Structure 1
Amino acid sequence: MTTADEGRDGDRRPAPDTALRVVELSGGVAVKICGRLLAGLGHDVVLCEPPGGDALRTREPLDEHGVGLAFSSLDADKRGVVVDLDTADGRSVLGELLDRADLLLTDLGPTRARALGLTAPEIRAAWPDLVAVSMTAAGLDDPRSDHPGDSLLAECQGGLASMIGEPDRSPLSLGGEQTAHAAAFAGLFGAMLALRRRTRGARGDVVDIALCDVAAYIDWKSDIETAFAGTAPTRTGATAGQWRIVRAADGWVGVIFAPEQWDVLVRLVSEPAPAPAPRSDPEQCWKLIERWAARLPKRTVYERAQALGLAVGFSADLGDLLGDRQYEARGFFRGPRRNGRTIAPVGPPAHGAGLPWRSGPPPTLGGDSVVARSWSPIGREESTPSREGAPLAGVTVLDLGTITAGAATGRLLADYGATVIKVESASHPDPFRQWPVAGRPPARDGLSPMFESNNAGKQGVVLDLKTEAGRETLHRLAAQADVVIENFTVGVTRRLGADFETLRAVNPRLLYLSLSSQGQDGPEAGRRSYGSTLDLLSGLASVTGYRDGGPMWSSGEVNYPDQAASLFGAALVAYCLDRGVRGVHLDVSQRELISWTLADRIAEHRATGVVPAPTGNRRPGATPHDVYPCSGKGQWVAIACRRQDERDALARLVAPAELAGKPEAWWWEHEELVDELIGAWTRARSRTECVDALTEVGVAVAPVLTAAERKHEPRFRERRVYLGEGESRRKGFPFTMRGYAPPEPTPAPALGQDQEAVLAVLPVEHVTGCRSRGS
């Protein structure tokens, strides 16, 4: 995206007749993030606040104007109107806004939605052309959604938390509000799909996003391993397993390498120390690696390892990010300044000529009280309804993506109707084709189920892009395509004649998405990474972990940055397709994208000078907010209280003598004592008993599920978060749409499976040198 820093009236806003009119009803974080993305892209987002203002306005830490830094980050560039939904006048104002809106973003729970006449059927009946995106804890119709969406509860219910942390300690939530951000990316994707269907003749729709489904979707690899190995994987933490986080002289580094790079790792640590012991004694090897790393600064370890092609990363804290040369080169930190201080702490989550990004202030309370009158009535052109209901029908995508980030983006686009052609090299196909699961390689002629999940629904061709004939064929395919996706190391596409400038020359309207480690330019653009590398470099690991420990990553078993990048990449492509953006290179740095999810923590650091550290499962705005052990082995339950009435109910249940009648401030001041009392109560009960009792009294609660337990939860099967049973298990969909259900995807293609069919549309003289599957 472009680096616009204009204020609210800057000239990069889309023209009034093309800007979306968005109404936001947000009590939780996910909706705010989705609204922030749309506002940053220049659309008119109206935040409806209750009398007295949004709760984040006054949540500490505050800026010099008394506005919460989280509010400034999440609600930048929006307009605001005070709407009292408990009054007839307030509901009338909301109705007037919705009469003229394109999009509603909401996290109303089912009870509140019924009271306001805003259930999915009522929305579709009253505003048939409106697209509504709901982001709740467990879905539009689930009573658990009467509690605000919470990333910890979602990650526990969805099974993701069971994969984060040390195996002998409590499960962890990822730092910040990661599932809320991933849900927001899914929300943007769903919104654009529904809007695209509307422009092609359909009516409006309701997109139903459950945060716990998104968490389960992110943890899809655990589903696959459970189906094939019969047992669920467990968290490996940072101190065991093939990859580990070790101390450096001034911090931490993640030692990350492919199995075939062992000798390279030996060479790295053997100067000047003696070479590590052989692989037969891995623990002795790790002791030597730890001694070597402990003598060096973390950036030195990183630089030396990267120079040898190792995907090692150092744990960047949020202070490191502010002075990072890669971020400086790409202008990641920018925004309008107030009293000499940047108030919008980070720039866009992607770069690309032709897309705006606005970094302005949040709305003043009630500052746009007549906002409804500034929107003209919606005029709908008569159109012939499309015979094809798939949102992306008619879109052709060339998918050069591999492993997860690129390939999973292509899978999402294929799920919703795009024709996705996976382009591979016969000599160097996607490594996921033969990726082992639970230590077992796939059958001799079989596909890894990991590959199946990321590539179902696609067509497959093979091209040798090192030859002139292969490049010519790619160019002819690109001339007929709408989108290209790639996640190669920077520089590879240029060498293969598959870079944006080359392909734009044959198709000026091509939409080109790059999902690289650190972006297409800057001094570290060519660095190698895995998801775990990006956990560290983005700053996420520095705020994930136990309160008494060091940084924690999502681990190679999850690779959260890859999953988040695929959701965001698909959303960005769908946005451009719906908005008519063409001929653009969408440059998504996976590292920057994950740092962007920490915008409020970065703002806090810039304002206070305090470098955020891991806080376990505690978060601002809720207390108690943690996981607690139950009586069964390895059984945990999560609790998140955001309101005083929940704390009062919890007190009466678990320890009335010690907790009843205590004011909110007391709960914050005595979190250790509260945790001890809750833990004593949960240890005496099974997980089911804890969940049932807490639910009965109105406390927000979730069990910490494993992938093995998740498969027995009907909701994930019914909502198609995963597909198939047993060894046919594969990744499903991150949300549901009331007006469209994607069909079951076809199996992932064998190498070059669709060669003849795909290339048959090209003139014969242009396919010389391309090998068919049987040749």
Structure 2
Amino acid sequence: MEPPDEERAGDPGALRVVELSGGVATKVCGRLLAGLGHEVILCEPPGGDASRTRPPLDGHGVGLTFASLDADKRSVVADLDTADGRATLNHLLERADVLLTDLGPTRARTVGLTAAGIRDAWPGLVAVSITAAGLDDPRSDHPGDSLLAECHGGLAAMIGEPDRAPLSLGGEQAAHAGAFAGLLGAMLALRRRALGGGGDVVDVALCDIAAYIDWKSDIETAVAGTAPTRTGATAGQWRIVRAADGWVGVIFHPDQWDLLIELVNGSVPESSRDPEQWWPVIERWAADLPKRAVYERAQALGLAVGFCADLQDLRGDGQYQSRGFFREPRQDGRTTAPVGPPARATGLPWRSGPPPTLGDADLDWTARQAPPPPNGLEAPLAGITVLDLGTITAGAATGRLLADYGATVIKVESASHPDPFRQWPVAGQAPGTNGLDVSPMFESNNAGKLGVVLELKTEVDRETLHRLAARADVVIENFTVGVTRRLGADFETLRAVNPRLVYLSLSSQGQEGPEAGRRSYGSTLDLLSGLASVTGYADGGPMWSSGEVNYPDQAASLFGAALVAYCLERGVRGVHLDVSQRELITWTLADRIAEHAATGVVPEPTGNRRPGATPHDVYPCAGDGQWVAIACHRQADRDALAGLIAPAVLTGRSEQWWWEHEALVDELVEAWTRARPRAECVHALTGAGVANAPVFSAAERGREPRFRERRVFLGDGGSRRKGFPFTMRGYAPPDPAPAPDLGQDQEAVLAGLIEMDAALPAEPSSRP
């Protein structure tokens, strides 16, 4: 994306977006659209959004979270409990393209913003609802909360040490992933509207997003019959160990054993693979070295080792500095978003300005031309062709999302080096031993695609790729930087044959910079991005999402698909979308980065506690491994909790008292939950009006009707595969066809290419 433009865009082609937000997810979705140059009007209640004055504050008394998440928006004050306020909202929605809302069902009924109400009153409007559990679920009357979402969706059961409490990922990750899904849904709905499909309502539930991210656990549960659990950072094949000045993650594959021995100067017995013998040796070796030195040595050997970067490390990091990731303070002293765009692309603008002052917007929107009447068109991406060079998760999962919504996705593989996920073992079972020809991991990320084999080291197959690219709309790749150039599949080469390509690179650290060629997996990026530094127990070290989840890969695929859909909808062509997965995850920590820049304090893990809510944690219930999460964002929640668990001690206490006595409150809550089964805790808390969620395992999640009904996963038994991250009221994607065998569609695809070549008019021989 281009350097930031601090001024209002004033682009007559810009989208008009109305935002009704109280939670992080909707704010982030609005922030993405505002950063991309669109007109986003934040509708605030009298007195302003609560996050405007929520500590920590900048020098002007503005909350740093508000300054980070609401940058470049405009503000309108509208009291939706009054006729005048609803009239103001109606005036905006009559002229808007998109509504972003996180109103729960009760509030939505009160102000006339149910799904049916939206479609009746504004048939051309695209509405994106991002709530806790879905637009119609009463649990969504509580604010969307990443901890509750990650517990309800089963993700929290996979994060943390196996003998300790489940953890939420640091920095509101379910909310950010939900925002990426919301942006994808908005673009799909807008594209469908432009093609004659009318408006639509996109329904994003944060608990579904968490479950979608944890899709690997669904697969393993279905294949092995038992749910996986968290492995933490101190057990398993990969581990986080101490360095002289911090922490490093030791990440390698079994066939890299010799490289690991070389890394630690040959001090691990070559004949031994017993962790009891070799992990202590590695730990002693790493403890004597700076964390970055361990990282540099390992990367030089081709090992995807990462060091745990905290936010202070990142602000001085050469890779980030070379790419201009962090933003300097404004001359006028107003706090702005502290980070640049979540992706780089020449020709795609990005703004990093200040947040709005209360009520600063003029209601100057003129009436929009009515959208075309519905013509029965179904799939939003019908007619789009994608060349998918992606592998494993990030690239391949992006292609799967585009295929789900109607694109023709051609998966290009090498016969000698196919996608490694084809033979990825699941729960100790390799393909061929479990009745399946390919790994269900591959099936989940590649369902609905066509399969061809091209050996790009040969001139003839390079030429075939170029002919395919000449007729494609999108190319996706997530190779190590430099590989596509060697194979003749890089952006510049393919743009020469098709100047209209949207080319998405999902690399570890971006296409440029001193560390661009580094190797990584999701766990590496957990560490390098700063996410691990703010995830973990308050009394411990950093924590990652682990190889069982690989959260950065999942977030990158949602964002990558959203960015491609954005370019297709807005007519942005001939563009190279450079997504650094490391930077994308750091971008989700913008509010913590702003706090660090303002105060100098380096954030550390806080367990499940978060600013703005108390109590906010998981508590053990009666029964082995049973937990319930509680998140009180409002005083009414705390009052309801007081009356349920300890009225004599807690009734009538002020909000400040609750903050000052968190330890006592935790003791009282835990005493109450330990005495009851989890189901009884959930029933009582829900009945009292306290926001809560059970901490589900993957097996328990699989038995929950809501996840099946909303198609978060598909199939039964060993045929289980990943489903869809959200629902659309006007379009339901069909179940995808099985993933292709290697080269399965070679003949059909190449025959079609010959037919297209024959249909082309004669062109100068100089055409590539």
> TM (normalized to structure 2)?
0.97
Displacement of 1:281 in angstroms is: 2.0
Q: For the Cα contact (< 8 Å) 1:41–1:355, is it kept in 2?
A: yes
- Partner of 1:543 in structure 2? 534
**Do residues 736 (structure 1) and 712 (structure 2) align?**
no
Determine whether 1:388 maps to 2:377: yes
Provide the rounded CA distance (Å) in 2 between the counterparts of 1:765 and 1:200: 24
User: Where do 1:100-179 residues align within 5 Å?
Assistant: 100-179=95-174
Q: Report the CA distance between 1:659 and its aligned residue.
A: 1.3
Tell me the equivalent position of 2:310: 317
Match status 1:412 vs 2:401:
yes
> 1:335 Cα deviation (Å)?
5.3
In structure 1, what is the equivalent of residue 513 of structure 2? Answer: 522
Say if 1:494 and 1:14 are closer, same or farther in 2 by CA, change over 3 A.
farther
Report the CA distance between 1:8 and its aligned residue: 2.7
Q: Is 1:58 aligned to residue 53 of structure 2?
A: yes
Q: Is the CA contact 2:104–2:140 (under 8 Å) kept in the aligned structure 1?
A: yes
Distance of aligned partners of 1:470 and 1:43 in 2 relative to their CA distance in 1, 3 Å threshold: same
Question: What does residue 628 of structure 2 align with?
Answer: 637
CA contact (8 A) 2:390 2:479 kept: yes
User: 1:375 pairs with 360, 365, 369, which one?
Assistant: 365
Structure 1 residue identity aligned to 2:11: A
Counterpart of 1:431 in structure 2 is 420
Number of equivalenced pairs: 756
Corresponding residue number in structure 2 for 1:8: 7
Q: How far off its partner does 1:279 sit?
A: 3.4
Aligned equivalent of 1:223, options 199, 203, 218: 218
Indicate if the aligned counterparts of 2:701 and 2:707 stay in contact, CA closer than 8 A.
yes
Query: With structure 1 as the length reference, what TM-score do the two structures score?
Result: 0.96
Aligned counterparts of 1:87 and 1:735: Cα–Cα separation in 2: 32
String of CA shifts for 1:457-487, please: whole Å, max 9, x gaps: 0000000000000100000000000000000
For residue 196 of structure 2, give the secondary structure of its aligned residue in structure 1. Answer: coil
Shift in Å, 1:380: 2.8
Partners of 1:181 and 1:258 in 2: CA distance = 30
Cα distance in 1 between the residues matched to 2:142 and 2:128: 17
| Contact 1:335/1:359, CA 8 A, preserved across alignment | no
For 1:203, give the aligned amino acid: G
Correspondent of 1:75 among 70, 74, 79: 70
Determine if the alignment matches structure 1 residue 90 to structure 2 residue 85: yes
| C-alpha distance in structure 2 between counterparts of 1:193 and 1:232, whole Å | 34
Aligned-partner Cα distance in 2 for 1:276–1:603 = 47
Question: Aligned pair in 2 of structure 1 residues 310, 386: CA closer, same or farther (>3 Å)?
Answer: farther
Distance across 2 between alignment mates of 1:367 and 1:511: 36
1:762 CA displacement: 2.5
The answer on 1:349 being equivalent to 2:338 is no
Change in 2 beyond 3 A, CA 1:196/1:764: closer
**What letter matches 1:402 in structure 2?**
T
Q: How does 1:668-707 map to 2 (within 5 A)?
A: 668-707=659-698
| Contiguous gaps of at least 5 residues in structure 2 | 759-768
Give me the whole-angstrom Cα distance separating, in 1, the residues matched to 2:153 and 2:348. Answer: 34
1:33 aligns with 2:24: no
Aligned-pair distance for 1:278? 3.7
What is the rounded CA distance, in whole Å, between the counterparts of 2:334 and 2:541 in structure 1?
30
Match of 1:773 in 2: none
> Match of 1:201, SS?
helix
Aligned equivalents of 2:723, 2:7: Cα separation in 1: 40
CA displacement at 1:555 relative to structure 2: 0.2
C-alpha distance in structure 2 between counterparts of 1:467 and 1:667, whole Å: 68
Q: 1:330 aligns with which of 316, 319, 323?
A: 323
Whole-Å Cα distance in 2 between the matches of residues 322 and 194 of structure 1?
38
Q: How far is 1:656 from its partner? A: 1.4
Contact 1:335 1:342 in 2 (8 A): no
CA contact (8 A) 2:198 2:371 kept: no
Work out the CA distance in 1 between the residues paired with 2:261 and 2:24. 45
Sequence identity (%): 80
Is the aligned partner of 1:49 residue 2:44?
Answer: yes
In structure 2, relative to structure 1, the CA distance for the partners of 1:277 and 1:752 (3 Å cut) is closer
Q: Distance in 1 between matches of 2:367 and 2:334?
A: 40
Alignment pair present for 1:568 and 2:564: no
Residue of structure 2 aligned with 1:403, choices 386, 389, 392: 392
The structure-2 alpha-carbon separation of the partners of 1:340 and 1:362, relative to structure 1 and needing over 3 Å to count, comes to closer
Question: Any gaps of 5 or more consecutive residues in structure 1?
Answer: 768-775
- 1:299 corresponds in structure 2 to 292
SS of match in other structure, 1:490? coil
Q: What displacement does 1:107 show?
A: 0.3
Q: Distance in 2 between matches of 1:594 and 1:439?
A: 30
Q: What is the 5 A alignment of 1:660-675? A: 660-675=651-666
Hey, what's the Cα distance between the residues in 2 that align with 1:278 and 1:609? 48
2:411 to 409, 422, 433: 422
State the Cα deviation string for residues 401-453 of structure 1 (Å, max 9, x = none): 00000000000000000000000000000000000000110117701000000
Shift of the 367–15 alpha-carbon distance from structure 1 to 2, 3 Å rule, reads closer
Match of 2:429 in 1: 440
Q: Is the 8 A contact 1:278 1:285 kept in 2?
A: no
Q: Aligned partners of 2:694 and 2:741: how far apart in 1? A: 40
Q: RMSD in angstroms over aligned alpha carbons? A: 1.4
**Counterparts of 2:427 and 2:67, CA distance in 1:** 45
**Equivalence for 1:600:** 591
The match for 2:209 is 214
* Counterpart Cα distance in 2 of 1:486 and 1:342: 36
Map Cα deviations across residues 608-662 of structure 1 (whole Å, 9 max, x no partner): 0000000000000000000000001000000000111110111111111221111
SS at match of 1:61: coil
Query: 2:763 — aligned with what?
Result: none
Cα distance in 1 for partners of 2:410, 2:10 equals: 32
> Cα deviations across residues 727-773 of structure 1 (Å, max 9, x unaligned)?
11000000000000000100000000000000112239999xxxxxx
User: Contact between 1:410 and 1:455, CA under 8 Å: does it hold in 2?
Assistant: yes
Give 1:237 deviation, angstroms.
0.1
**Letter of the 1:749 counterpart:** P
SS of structure 2 residue aligned to 1:763: helix
The verdict on how the C-alpha distance between 1:97 and 1:764 changes in structure 2, with shifts beyond 3 A counting, is closer
**Residue 200 of structure 1 aligns to a residue in which SS?**
helix
Task: Report the Cα offset of residue 386 of structure 1.
Answer: 4.6
For the pair 1:755 / 2:746, whether they are aligned, the reply is yes
CA contact (8 A) 1:473 1:766 kept: no
**Distance in 1 between the 2:104 and 2:336 partners?**
32
In the alignment, what sits opposite 2:453?
A: 462
Contact 1:2 1:354 in 2 (8 A): yes
Q: Is the 8 A contact 2:193 2:371 kept in 1?
A: no
Work out whether residues 197 and 376 of structure 2, in 8 Å CA contact, stay in contact via their aligned partners in 1. Answer: no
Following the alignment from structure 2 to structure 1, what is the Cα–Cα distance between the partners of residues 242 and 485?
37
Q: In 1, Cα distance between the equivalents of 2:125 and 2:682? A: 37
Paired residues of 2:195 and 2:377 also in contact (CA < 8 A): no
**Distance (whole Å) between structure 2 residues aligned to residue 761 and residue 548 of structure 1:** 61
Residues 194 and 371, structure 2, Cα contact 8 Å, conserved in 1: no
Q: 2:233 aligns with which of 238, 246, 253?
A: 238
* Alpha-carbon distance in 1 for matches of 2:375, 2:241: 57
Structure 1 residues 14 and 747: alpha-carbon distance in aligned structure 2, compared to 1, 3 A threshold: farther
Alpha-carbon distance in structure 2 between the residues aligned to 1:32 and 1:376: 25
1:277–1:284: 8 Å Cα contact kept in structure 2? no
